Amino acid sequence: MGCGNSKSAAISSAGGSDSVRDNKLKKSKIVFVVGGPGSGKGTQCERIVGKYGFTHLSTGDLLRAEVTSGTERGQRLNAIMSRGELVPMETVLQMLKDAMLFKVDSAKGFLIDGYPRELSQAEAFEKKIAIPKLVLYINASSETMMERLMNRAKTSGRADDKAETFKARLQTYYEATEPVVQRYDSKGLVKKISAEGTADEVFKLVCEALDSLK
């Protein structure tokens, strides 16, 4: 895959035994970026990378790369994603961990965009990878998200940028992902960002939240 997230690539990049590499991950600065479909997670992550030099990993991008590679697994994933449903956690967590291991030596911190999307994903990540330092909750109304996605659909080529799929994704988001925000809020880790303004305005709020991390 484009980001080199295969097990062997991860091993040759990070060096050391499995437990040494796992320990490096455990100590890394991890920020979850959570929000509804089209809220602007990817847009803000791009800007954060520019200013803070974090490594951005989007689970949606990792999955789409697998789809593009044309494997049988990619075809199965594509069918699930086109329906607006979540793919099995084992698949996405292994892809994510491999991608993190590949970058662990050079990353100043990780922006994990689109994961966790359900409570079981949060629990598995904490058990197998690390506890996040912060959760950036990118919050926009369903009307704003719909409008943004319908705009993106004109150029994105994404199979899930359709009105019907948006409704399913939104339902998945409210039912499965919002409880994740509540879980981390109760631990004091959530910074809620209003994403209704322009991308520049939202970025200002994001920077305030990230600066509080130092």
Ligand X SMILES: Nc1ncnc2c1ncn2[C@H]1C[C@H](O)[C@@H](COP(=O)(O)O)O1
Ligand Y SMILES: Nc1ncnc2c1ncn2[C@@H]1O[C@H](COP(=O)(O)OP(=O)(O)OP(=O)(O)O)[C@@H](O)[C@H]1O
What positions carry a catalytic annotation? 41, 117, 152, 158, 169
Task: Tell me the residue number closest to ligand X, measured at CB.
Answer: 60
Q: What is the layout of strands, in order, in the sheet containing 30-35?
A: 55-58, 110-113, 30-35, 134-139, 190-194
Q: Residue 8: which residues within 8 A CB-CB, separation 6 or more?
A: none
Which x/- pattern, by CB under 6 A, does the window 5-44 give for ligand Y?
------------------------------x-xxxxxxx-
Q: Find the largest Cα–Cα distance for the chain.
A: 48
Give the whole-angstrom CA distance, residue 203 versus residue 44: 6
37 Cβ neighbours under 8 A, 6+ residues apart: 145, 149, 160, 166, 169, 170, 173
CA angle 63, 32, 30 (to 5 degrees): 105
CB nearer Mg ion, residue 14 or residue 62 = 62
Cβ at position 42, least distance to Mg ion in Å? 3
User: Least separation, in Å, of the C-beta of 33 and ligand Y?
Assistant: 8
Residues 54-73 that bind ligand Y (CB under 6 A): 60
Residues 33, 132 contacting (CB under 8 angstroms): no
Q: Which of ligand Y, ligand X, Mg ion, none does 202 bind, CB closer than 5 to 8 A by kind?
A: ligand Y
Q: Which of 35, 36, 37, 42 binds Mg ion (CB under 5 A)?
A: 42
Q: Which of residues 153-182 bind Mg ion (CB under 5 A)?
A: none
User: Rounded CA gap, 29 and 113, in Å?
Assistant: 14
Residue of the chain from 199, 204, 208, 213 that contacts ligand Y (CB under 6 A): 199
Q: Which of 83, 148, 162, 192 lies at the binding interface for ligand Y (CB under 6 A)?
A: 148
Q: Which does 63 bind (CB under 5 to 8 A by kind): Mg ion, ligand X, ligand Y, none?
A: ligand X
CA R_g for the chain: 17
Would you say 115 and 89 are in contact if contact means Cβ atoms under 8 Å apart? no
Q: Does 84 bind Mg ion (CB under 5 A)?
A: no
Residues that bind Mg ion (CB under 5 A): 42
Residues that bind ligand Y (CB under 6 A): 35, 37-43, 60, 148, 151-152, 195, 198-199, 202
